[in-house]
Structure 1
């Protein structure tokens, strides 16, 4: 018996060694491309380092973080991001849920509609942003042309990209259009995973229409709401391409979101240390909001 135990333990040790060999490449990749850059960025955030003028980083402790919370432009970008995030979160969640419910209850083939909803995600976001920038132009944009020359409603034309609140509304609409299809697919998967007998039992008990929706369907989509909510929060807080290419952050700084401000500090003004600190602040904010969304989804 002792020999068997010794042989088994030896065999297990051999398997463990093979396991280490197989895991080692992934660990090295994670170290090189994730762990090392993370700690290097953390150190950089504690230094004063302008890539153009400084020969090497100068350690200054938490001064960059103190500077960030005294930087009115950065605080303004947080406010802009908050407004954008709230509008985007509400619209993309509602839009995805409504479209998913329509597909779920639709009779017949819905593959064409699923493809149509998902198609904007396949199109590169930079290309979509350039197209919408052209559509929303004041003088030669397609939207104003359609309103004024086709519908004869010239009084409805606007400077969509250079006035408030239309600039903010424009980037929110473009972002929702580009991503609502993914939310739709996630919600539809959650709906299709619901047990049919549960829905049938609700109908037998007299639950129809909105009562079925609010009493049976939505309460059983908590996990789906958690996943879609976290995804929507991440998309909202790390938005960059749409405001950069559609409104260029304007008018003024009205659509300059956090990500744009961090990018400008890091790669336009080459303040690498300050930009790294801003990036860590933004990452912490994203983590806190994601955890808060998970906590709320569990309690609802």
Structure 2
């Protein structure tokens, strides 16, 4: 049976390898124009600011008084570790991050395990836990600022007037220990729903036949959790751990809105110190150096979390 040569042979300029140079050039230009807005956006708001802040971190530069940056090499980085305020804010950041990461991983995992069970109103509970993440963190901080006020705050009112437990009322944001605890509590309330949903997604990805086989073999309760569920959540722990570490290390909104770093410097975190240095004292070189130190800490802790979970997964 004869075939039509016109149909069997690819036409020049239309199919793959038969494209003419003009058609190939036209397709390349069209593709470049489609991705150009995204490239410009990423370059303008990510790559260029990162590169320029690294450049500025090696200079002494107050953009109000100095005409040009003055190169000082690693001077800003050395100054940071001799700066009392930097060391205090770094310590406060580690305190917040340690307790925040530890508590949020434990509680969100426990909530996810509860919601993973077939209970009544399960969808309602999931929605209720997730709702705080929808509220902007700044609004949550403002709401808790009112709740924790010593004179007219809702918490002291309930403890003192409603429950008659005046001995439990407290100056929650006016003492260092309770102020830091309050900030951690607000951070947990605002973000624990997101972590719970991540853990719940990890639980739902575990094959049901593994869980059923474990129950047949007699593994139930805590044995099922420790020997079956947790080993199968390594990938989820990597994701939730990195997310929690980044939020804990880069905490800013809670102390900025609720305590402004006080009382004294007891809740001053590194992100705040960077902000004040840059936009109150206009020392952009020193602020950029501290910002890079903060970024290096976040990346190091995230990498440690990733490597730890990967190593545990390979050894099991």
TM-score w.r.t. length of structure 1: 0.94
1:69 aligns with 2:70: no
| Structure 1 residue 120 corresponds to structure 2 residue 132 | yes
CA RMSD of aligned residues (A): 1.9
Alpha-carbon distance in 1 for matches of 2:20, 2:143: 60
Distance 1:12 1:241, change over 3 A: farther
Distance between the aligned counterparts of 1:141 and 1:223, measured in 2? 42
Give, in whole Å, the separation in 1 of the partners of 2:164 and 2:36. 67
Alpha-carbon distance, 1:18 to partner: 4.9
Partner SS state of residue 108, structure 1: coil
The structure number with the bigger radius of gyration is: 2
Report the Cα distance in structure 2 between the residues aligned to 1:287 and 1:9, rounded to whole angstroms. 45
Compute the displacement of 1:21 (Å).
4.3
1:102-117 to 2 correspondences below 5 Å: 102-117=114-129
Per the TM alignment, residue 134 of structure 1 is displaced from its structure 2 partner at its CA by: 1.1
**Structure 2 residue corresponding to 1:277, chosen from 289, 294, 302:** 289
- The question of 1:239 aligning with 2:251 is answered yes
| CA distance in structure 2 between the aligned counterparts of 1:189 and 1:223, rounded to whole angstroms | 11
Are 1:256 and 2:263 an aligned pair? Answer: no
State the match for 2:159 in structure 1. Answer: 147
Match of 1:294 in 2: 306
1:42 maps onto 2:54 in alignment: yes
Q: Deviations over 1:187-211 (max 9, x none)?
A: 0000011100000000000001110
Partner deviation per Cα, 1:236-279 (whole Å, 9 max, x = no partner): 01111101111221110001011001100001111111111111
Task: Report SS of the residue matched to 2:176.
Answer: coil
Structure 1: how far apart are the matches of 2:73 and 2:277? 19
Matched, 1:183 2:195: yes
1:218 aligns with 2:230: yes
Unpaired runs of 5+ residues, structure 2, are: 1-8
Q: What does the per-residue CA deviation read over 1:97-120, in whole Å, with 9 as the maximum and x for residues that have no partner? A: 111111101323422111111111
Contact 2:57–2:76 (Cα < 8 Å) also in 1: yes
Aligned to 2:182: 170
1:204 equivalent to 2:224? Answer: no
Instruction: Indicate how the Cα distance of structure 1 residues 134 and 8 shifts in structure 2: closer, same or farther if over 3 A, else same.
Output: closer
Q: State the shift of 1:12 in Å.
A: 10
Distance 1:111 1:8 in 2: 51
Distance 2:39 2:234 in 1: 34
Distance 1:271 1:164 in 2: 28
Count of aligned pairs = 297
Residue 53 in structure 1 maps to residue 37 in structure 2: no
Give the direction of change, closer, same or farther, for the CA distance of 1:11–1:218 in structure 2 (3 Å limit): farther
Q: Does 1:266 align with 2:278?
A: yes
Distance across 2 between alignment mates of 1:150 and 1:115: 29
Q: Give SS of 1:182's match.
A: helix
